[in-house]
Amino acid sequence: MATPNRGTVPLTGYAKRFVDQLAQCRALGIRILEGSERHVLLELPYQKRIIGYPDTGVIHGGVITTLMDTACGATVVCALRHATGNVELSPTLDLRVDYMMAAKPEQSVFCYAECHKLTSAIAFVRAVVYQDDVSKPVAQAVGSFMRIGPELVTEQFKRNMEGG
């Protein structure tokens, strides 16, 4: 499985703690494979219950969108942690998704997302969903996420992100 260039600061555990707090990710079985200050790589295992087209076995597009939104959010959380040292959240402002082909049935899909720019108010991201080869995407996305600052993060969320 080929993936793009990766960042250098390991934040896989941090990204995992973020994803594990999201009920939809637990329900879908989304897993973090790696994370850094620049990127995350997630896996969505194939399951019959996420099929959108029973005749073909193709995964529902809404599940693919959830995977991309989660990956983009996770990469922003990691980028902010690296840049500021703080636990911050960044809700989705805009996410443009382009579906390019159906995912092959009976195979996991992967989402590589990167945060390519942080400003004082917005984080900019891009993502690609693929199966065997990142150069043959199932879908791609670009988006922006709002920075809301560490003061709006609940103490429980902060403890969970810190591993406590």
Q: How far apart are CA 53 and CA 1, in angstroms?
A: 26
Phi-psi region of 57 (alpha: psi -120 to 50; beta: other; left: phi over 0): left
Partner residues linked to 118 by β-bridges: 123
Residue 42 identity: L
For the chain, give the mean pLDDT. 92
Other beta carbons less than 10 A from residue 116's beta carbon: 14
Domain ranges of the chain: 12-161
**Structure confidence by residue, pLDDT tens digits, 76-115:** 999 999 999 999 989 999 999 999 999 999 999 999 999 9
Give CA–CA dist 132/93, Å, rounded: 30
Integer Cα distance of 15 and 104 in angstroms: 27
The DSSP secondary-structure symbol of 162 reads T
pLDDT digits (tens, 9 = 90+) for 145-159: 999 988 889 999 999
pLDDT of res. 10 = 86
The pTM (predicted TM-score) of the whole model is 0.92
Dist CA 163 CA 47 (whole Å): 29
CATH class held by domain 12-161: alpha beta
